[in-house]
Amino acid sequence: MTAADILKNYNLNKTHCRVLVLEHLMKNRRALSQAEIEKSLRPLCNRSTIYRILNKLSEKKIIQLIVIDEVNKYFYDEEALSAKGAYEPVYFQCIKCNRVVPAGRMSKEAFQLSEGFVKLRYNFVIQGICDKCNQEHYNKS
């Protein structure tokens, strides 16, 4: 599916910047912050446009929002999108290079809240050292 098809399926207008932002996330296999997206799409789309697009896309669950150390990161997860919330994606953050990549999924039954508790925001993030940084470490020693 192309970015334009996805926007159409969710009844969103195919504005130039919406297509660019979604395409950019689709071709990156790691989660990106708004600042990183801005850097790549400047000067085609401005900051506030990108901000609004990211909010809209994550509100519609087209992209995943992952909050790490108070920074919002966005990731296009094709499988999570087609599973329509049947499970929760788990991510991995490298503490050396800061890369955030998908690391599996968790069934919703694995975490049932007690009665009266309301789920607002949640992140499943495993922190550690990624394969690339790990390799660099071994190459040095």
Query: How many residues in the shown chain lie near Zn ion by CB under 5 A?
Result: 5
- Residue 95 contacts residue 132 (beta carbons within 8 Å): no
25 vs 80: CA distance, rounded Å:
14
57 vs 104: CA distance, rounded Å:
22
Sheet holding 32-33, edge to edge: 32-33, 71-75, 64-68
Residue 33 vs 55, nearer CB to Zn ion: 33
Q: How far is the CB of 135 from Zn ion (least distance, A)?
A: 9
Q: How far is the CB of 31 from Zn ion (least distance, A)?
A: 13
Cα distances (Å, whole numbers) of residue 6 to 3, 39, 55, 60, 126:
5, 24, 16, 11, 29
Show contacts with Zn ion in window 96-135 (CB under 5 A). Answer: 96-97, 130, 133
Residue 12 vs 101, nearer CB to Zn ion: 101
Candidate ranges 18-26, 61-69, 94-102, 118-126; the one touching Zn ion (CB under 5 A): 94-102
Residue 80 vs 94, nearer CB to Zn ion: 94
Q: Which residues bind Zn ion (CB under 5 A)?
A: 94, 96-97, 130, 133
